[in-house]
Amino acid sequence: MSRSHFGLVLALLWLAWFAGCAPKSPHLLETSTQIAPFLKQVSGPLPKTQEKRLYADFLARYYRPWQLDELDTTAETASWAVRHYAGKALFAENRRPLPKARFDAWVENADYEAFNTLKRHAIVVHPTSLRLFPTRRPIFYDPSLPGEGYPFDYNQNSAIKACTPLIVSHLSRDGGWAFVQSPFALGWLPVRDIAFVSEKQIETIMRLPKLAVLKEYIPVYDGRQNFLFYAKMATLFPWAGEEEGFYKILVPQKEGGSLSLSRSLLPKAWASAMPLEMKRENVGRVASQLLGEPYGWGGMAEDRDCSAMTRDFFAPFGIWLPRNSKAQAKAGKAIDLQTLSAKEKERIILKEAVPFRTLLYLPGHIMLYVGKQEGRAYAMHNIWGIRTGNGGRYIVGKAVITDLWLGENLPEADKASLLIERIRSMNIVVEF
């Protein structure tokens, strides 16, 4: 053997020995986007009487804006964001302090003195964003701080889907924005994204059965196959009939300032009649569309945050949830866990929680319990990140399945901030 070959062999042997003896880096964050291992823990379908009752409640809440003669709140409540953010150190999209003159102009344009003077029913004609101030510009806290900056735009209230019913309070001074009450939140929408509806159109839409989109981000066309918008899962359409392989649906379009209903087709593989039966294959079908989606604070970039994910999980089954996590934690039967140790919390969750029907709440975050594996409780949730000991974040940034001890092996993790440590309650949204 030549000297060069001998040296190469020695080097390879040394590398093999070193690799075998060197400490292995632990797999620090165990996350998954595979729902299949948990589907065997899905309970049987709901009794038809309960399914019918829940769906009736869903429709009543969904169509509530069209049952109102005016917004059922006050100008003071509607303008809370003005008082909340006034005087705070705010930052703009360029990471520089937000000019006070810009903020003041937004407030003046909002014209809350005109609150509840228009009082007209409307509908969302394509997906958009509900804003706290009448502007698309963002509001950030200091982007140099952990957990601040993009995507945490505090002007973003919620994403809002096409076909969503509205009642309009008034328009901004410049006429470009409408202050609205949707089924789940108040805020500002661009006037170009809404259309005013007649009482006859309301009657038609409410009378027809509903289809829920079960596939993420599908293209929607008008009756002449002109593209209109992309619809996310849990978008609802009025169902006007069927033909081979397709549902006939009504889609909203705008003519002038008013609604025009266009007939279109939706592949049957992309949607289902509501309420969807809450059985194993349907639970898997819905959950698999939500998993892996990037985290989107308040619906930023048309992605979901934690409470939007849980809301859209339950919606196709005809089960209503409020928009924010704190309100969702009060749905159904709530069980207080905050005085218990981490191990006691998990013990009760494993004993009492019903997979795919139970929410786990901690301040600022909510998760869907999906069952257990090897003695641990697992949840499906859209999460931004794990808090670290230095006040920073280890970014997850998407919808995943994890146990409740996520980050326990992460050396820099703040152990007091693990999910299990911070859980305050669980609530069984749907009981038998």
17-70 pLDDT, tens digit per residue, is: 333 333 333 345 789 999 999 999 999 899 999 999 999 999 999 999 999 999
Domain count, the chain: 2
The residue assigned the tokens 């309100």 is: 327
CA proximity to 403, closest of 30, 27, 28: 30
**pTM exceeding the 0.75 threshold for the entire prediction:** yes
CA distance 281 to 41: 12
pLDDT tens figures, 130-160: 999 999 999 999 999 988 999 999 999 999 9
Query: Do 241 and 149 fall into the same domain?
Result: yes
- DSSP letter at 99 equals P
In terms of DSSP H, where are the helices of 213-341?
A: 280-290, 306-314, 325-328
Query: Do 236 and 152 fall into the same domain?
Result: yes
pLDDT of the residue at 292: 98
The answer to whether the CB of 167 falls within 8 A of the CB of 194 is no
Query: Would residue 1 count as lying in a domain?
Result: no
374: containing domain = 36-46+277-428
What b/e string do you get for 270-287 counting C-beta neighbours within 10 Å, with b at 16 or more? Answer: bbbebbbebeeebbbbbb
The single-letter code of the amino acid at 385 is G
CATH number of the domain enclosing 347: 3.90.1720.10
Query: Would residue 16 count as lying in a domain?
Result: no
pLDDT of the residue at 146: 86
Query: Do 298 and 375 fall into the same domain?
Result: yes
Last residue in a domain, options 273, 294, 325: 273
Composition of the chain by helix, strand, coil, percent to 5: 30, 30, 40
Query: Do 264 and 320 fall into the same domain?
Result: no
In the predicted model, what is the mean pLDDT of the chain? 93
Last residue in a domain, options 243, 273, 303: 273
Q: Residue 169: is its pLDDT beyond 60?
A: yes
The answer to whether the CB of 201 falls within 8 A of the CB of 259 is yes
